[in-house]
């Protein structure tokens, strides 16, 4: 049955829950499993078709690792955890009420306690040619491949910064692509310092060894993409040299930025955990600055799935009052915060990347706003008023982060609705009691 504006919302969907968890990546899964033994009525929701988040994204080209399967199976055994996939939070309605939407209907979800596990997204830095078909984010290409995009035989260049580049290269190679270059902007000395520290996290050292790429180059970044209607080659700055490489795809991502929008809408303060981009601020129990709202995983700062799992566990235990169990996870969290700290330090973005856009390079691709218009603006509000920058479909999620890096502007303050939503969904608060 499809809900319309006048139809009552199915009670099973709108029934209040004691604990609502937004995001079913590693952090959300761990939070739900930690909280479940309390017997509380828990709802775990995610906008993807299956739980797993970014790292364990399901799809036709994916064989999930045993850890992901174990977590999913454990979740299926928890009778008090309701899992809603393909469901996203569109905005706020009132005190402890969120507006949700799935492919068929919208409804108001009430909760007593909330754990935000909304993850992170890629930082995309615009360069000449970045809007050509065939150019994507690095993680975006990985998601497309996992969802079935055929890349066998294609020549792919992966560029940007951070360990995700190597994970993407491995996924592409496994599906038959030729990864002809992985261009990392960090220097060899930074990378050597990072690698030297890896013995502190043996699992990570082993993972790094399995991902080693012979096409990997440091002090290397994308300058431009060329092509007639589709990408045909990439120009790279490689140390002092500039080189051109023929390719079929470019996948480019400059690290991750926490998805803080929902937390900000709720009034949660931001902080820079482990020295990275600002995420949702949290205390020892993963509580945010807003009472009964917790945050875990990459919405608090980028640091990998192990950090997300540990933070999720602490938030889940704390939200149902199991303080001792939460405290037992503190040493583990400290270990992964130290790893995150290394990541941020060793893969810090070079100032020289700010010189990549040309005057006519589009920064806001939704509203076609070029770099030379934005360099004349004093900040985000000025840019919105004079150029419509950030007012398109992505609502500044892509260009806002780029502008923050390029011009040092404060990120745009999110507003409801967080994403495009159906009129019937936006009207559903009027229909709830």
Cβ proximity to ligand FAD, 237 vs 286, nearer residue: 286
Would you tell me how many other CB atoms lie within 10 Å of the CB of residue 342?
20
**Contact predicate 19/115, CB 8 Å:** yes
Taking the complex as a whole, how short is the minimal distance between the CB of residue 75 and ligand FAD, in angstroms?
Answer: 14
Nearer to ligand FAD, 139 or 160 (CB): 139
Q: Toward ligand FAD, which CB reaches closer, 73 or 351?
A: 73
Q: Smallest distance from the beta carbon of 301 to ligand FAD, in angstroms?
A: 10
Residues 222, 159 contacting (CB under 8 angstroms): yes
The separation between CA 114 and the C-alpha centre of its own chain, rounded to angstroms, equals: 19
Distances (CA, A) of 170 to 163, 187, 258, 371: 11, 22, 24, 34
Residue among 32 and 45 whose Cβ is closer to ligand FAD: 45
- Cα 398 from chain centroid (whole Å): 11
Tell me which residue of 163, 199, 165, 197 sits closest to 181, measured CA to CA. Answer: 165
Question: In sequence order, which residues have a C-beta less than 8 Å from that of residue 381 and are 6 or more positions away?
Answer: none
Q: How far is the CB of 125 from ligand FAD (least distance, A)?
A: 15
Contact residues for ligand FAD, defined by CB under 6 A: 22-28, 45-48, 53-55, 88-89, 117-122, 139, 142-143, 164, 167, 256, 259, 262, 297-298, 304-305, 308, 418
* Alpha-carbon torsion (70, 72, 78, 79), positive or negative: negative
Residue 273 CA to residue 50 CA, distance in Å, equals 29
**The two three-digit tokens of residue 219, written as one number:** 């002090």
Provide the total of helices (H) and of strands (E) in the chain, helices listed first: 15, 21
Contact 357, 126 (CB under 8 A): yes
Least distance CB 375 / ligand FAD (angstroms): 28
Structure tokens at 336: 């992964």
**Of 233 and 428, CB closest to ligand FAD:** 428
């Amino acid at each position: 049955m499809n809900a319309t504006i006048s139809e009552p919302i199915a009670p099973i969907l709108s029934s209040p829950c004691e604990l609502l968890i937004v995001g079913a990546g590693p952090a959300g899964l761990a939070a739900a499993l930690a909280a479940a033994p309390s017997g509380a009525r828990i709802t775990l929701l995610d906008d993807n078709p299956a739980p797993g988040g970014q790292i364990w994204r399901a799809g036709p080209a994916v064989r999930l690792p045993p850890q992901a399967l174990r977590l999913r199976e454990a979740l299926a055994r928890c009778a008090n955890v309701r899992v809603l996939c393909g469901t996203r939070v569109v905005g706020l309605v009132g005190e402890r009420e969120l507006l949700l939407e799935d492919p068929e209907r919208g409804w108001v979800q009430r909760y007593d306690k909330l754990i935000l596990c909304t993850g992170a997204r890629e930082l995309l830095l615009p360069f000449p040619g970045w809007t050509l078909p065939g150019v994507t984010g690095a993680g975006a290409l990985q998601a497309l491949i996992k969802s079935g995009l055929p890349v066998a035989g294609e020549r792919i260049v992966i560029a940007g910064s951070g360990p995700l580049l190597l994970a993407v290269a491995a996924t592409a190679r496994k599906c038959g692509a030729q990864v002809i270059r992985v261009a990392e902007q960090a220097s060899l000395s930074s990378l050597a310092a990072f690698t030297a520290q890896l013995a502190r996290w043996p699992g990570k050292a082993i993972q790094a060894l399995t991902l080693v790429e012979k096409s990997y180059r440091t002090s290397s970044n994308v300058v431009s993409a060329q092509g007639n209607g589709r990408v045909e080659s990439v120009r790279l700055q490689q140390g002092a040299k500039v080189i051109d490489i023929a390719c079929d795809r470019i996948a480019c991502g400059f690290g991750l930025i926490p998805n803080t929008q929902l937390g900000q809408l709720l009034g949660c303060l931001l902080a820079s955990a482990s020295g990275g981009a600002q995420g949702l601020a949290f205390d020892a129990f993963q509580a945010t600055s807003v009472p009964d709202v917790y945050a875990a995983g990459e919405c608090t700062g980028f640091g990998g799935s192990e950090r997300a799992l540990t933070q999720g566990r602490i938030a889940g235990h704390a939200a149902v009052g199991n303080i001792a169990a939460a405290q037992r996870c503190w040493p583990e969290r400290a270990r992964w915060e130290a790893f995150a700290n290394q990541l941020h330090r060793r893969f810090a973005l070079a100032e020289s990347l700010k010189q990549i856009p040309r005057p006519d390079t589009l920064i806001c691709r939704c509203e076609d706003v070029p770099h030379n218009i934005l360099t004349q603006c004093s900040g985000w509000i000025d840019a919105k008023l004079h150029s419509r920058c950030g007012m398109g479909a992505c609502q500044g999620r892509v260009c806002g982060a780029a502008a923050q890096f390029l011009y040092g502007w404060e990120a745009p303050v999110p507003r409801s609705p967080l994403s495009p939503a159906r009129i019937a969904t936006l009207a559903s608060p009027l229909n709830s009691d």
